[in-house]
Structure 1
């Protein structure tokens, strides 16, 4: 059964690897229920998950990045690769999923989770804060080469969620641009960028703007 294995929220903590001096990347499981709603525009708003701290709102949070989902199956694989325990939430994800092909989700695909309807908008692009938090040599490059980045989602219908809620795919657009495809196009395989245009109106708006600029 596809389900929300863990619902995670972050609390502000001081760090020396972020130019903001603090981060909310360390997300910990909570029992819930927790409200999920549109947070507002990027640059101003934080997380769509109530109680989840977003510090650097230049690049994180906002309507198109309201929720971040990552598969427990991928965390388990990274545990074997890195030789260390990776608790749910450690990659900064709000939703740790089970039985969901997160990276094969199509941009614009809609999920029902508890009372909430969410829409897939984009992959997560790794940053310096993520690298500093993980303390693994060459982490950004390794994560990028793995090509399983997890997905950002926007809120279509607000409501509450809790760990254990089922995840149901409600609809899936008929195009080829999956989370993994868009990630590859934006990172290591720029020759794929023209093919992302079929989904440009569904993509995270900041990413879509970047794609348009890169294509001229």
Structure 2
């Protein structure tokens, strides 16, 4: 992914928490079932009309926008054998040409009138499995690192479904989302790798906190 590279918005979706039925008569409150929109204003806290149910693990300035790479849909549909609905993973923006291996923590994207900065890989939860017919997406996403990623908002503005996402600034440390995911999920005792992820100044505060604590345990 080069600077000034652009991506197409395949799906643009927002939504507020609502009841989700899953399993055998079970229910939960979640905002994972987002609905397509033509446009929405993006604030520092996220899109107007968008929300989360679990504010401890979702939302907030470091996690204002959720992005998922469109290319993974074909992989998951082949692996699990059914067609996925738009915004299957509760993402706001499903983008082409913005894979986790190509996007770095700290990269800056212009999307419509807004400007966002990548802060962390998404940490998937079992709500994804519950929504998608109880297929083991959580396990598969953690294994591959194909989780999508989250962003903070640097400049507020209107975003429309016909806009494109443009990479306008590369983070100098070059820590890809996929690398950060690999370290977080699969290399919890790799102190050098943890240090490398922590070098990214744009890293989300929560990730910085737990990776710092993990490193302290490894080095004391």
TM-score w.r.t. structure 1 length? 0.88
Q: How far apart in 1 are the matches of 2:103 and 2:86?
A: 20
Question: Which deviates the most, 162-171 or 152-161?
Answer: 162-171
The alignment status of 1:11 with 2:40, answered yes or no, reads no
Match of 2:214 in 1: 214
Gaps of 5+ in 2: 1-5
> What TM-score do you get using the length of structure 2 for normalisation?
0.87
Give the paired residue count. Answer: 205
> Is the contact made by 1:175 and 1:198 (CA closer than 8 Å) also made in structure 2?
yes
| Cross-structure match for 2:35 | 28
Q: Which residue of 1 aligns with 2:153?
A: 155
Query: How has the CA–CA distance of structure 1 residues 180 and 82 changed in structure 2, closer, same or farther, with 3 Å as cutoff?
Result: same
d(CA) in 2 for partners of 1:140, 1:167: 27
Q: Which structure 1 segments of 5+ residues have no match?
A: 40-47
CA shift in 2, pair 1:88/1:103, >3 Å: farther
Other-structure match for 1:204: 204
Are 2:3 and 1:2 equivalent residues in the alignment? Answer: no
More strand by share: 2
Q: Which residue of 2 aligns with 1:43?
A: none
For 1:88 and 1:112, the matched residues in 2 are separated by 22
Higher Cα Rg, which structure? 2
Query: Among residues 153, 162, 186, which one is paired with 1:188 in the alignment?
Result: 186
Cα distance in 2 for partners of 1:150, 1:103 equals 10
Report if aligned partners of 1:109, 1:169 keep a CA contact under 8 Å in 2: yes
CA distance in 1 between counterparts of 2:101 and 2:52 reads: 23
Residue from 62, 65, 68 that aligns with 2:66 = 68
8 Å CA contact retained: 2:108, 2:168: yes
Tell me the CA shift for residue 98 of structure 1. Answer: 1.8
Question: Contact (CA 8 Å) 2:80, 2:135: kept in 1 or not?
Answer: no
- Name the counterpart of 1:172: 170
Q: Which moved more, 1:50-59 or 1:139-148?
A: 139-148
Q: Is the 8 A contact 1:4 1:113 kept in 2?
A: no
CA distance in 2, matches of 1:29, 1:111: 21
SS in 2 for 1:7: strand
Secondary structure of 2:116's partner?
Answer: strand
1:147, 1:180 within 8 Å by CA — same for their partners in 2?
yes
Shift of 1:29: 1.2
Q: Distance in 1 between matches of 2:187 and 2:210?
A: 15
Would the aligned equivalents of 1:89 and 1:95 in 2 still touch at CA under 8 Å? yes
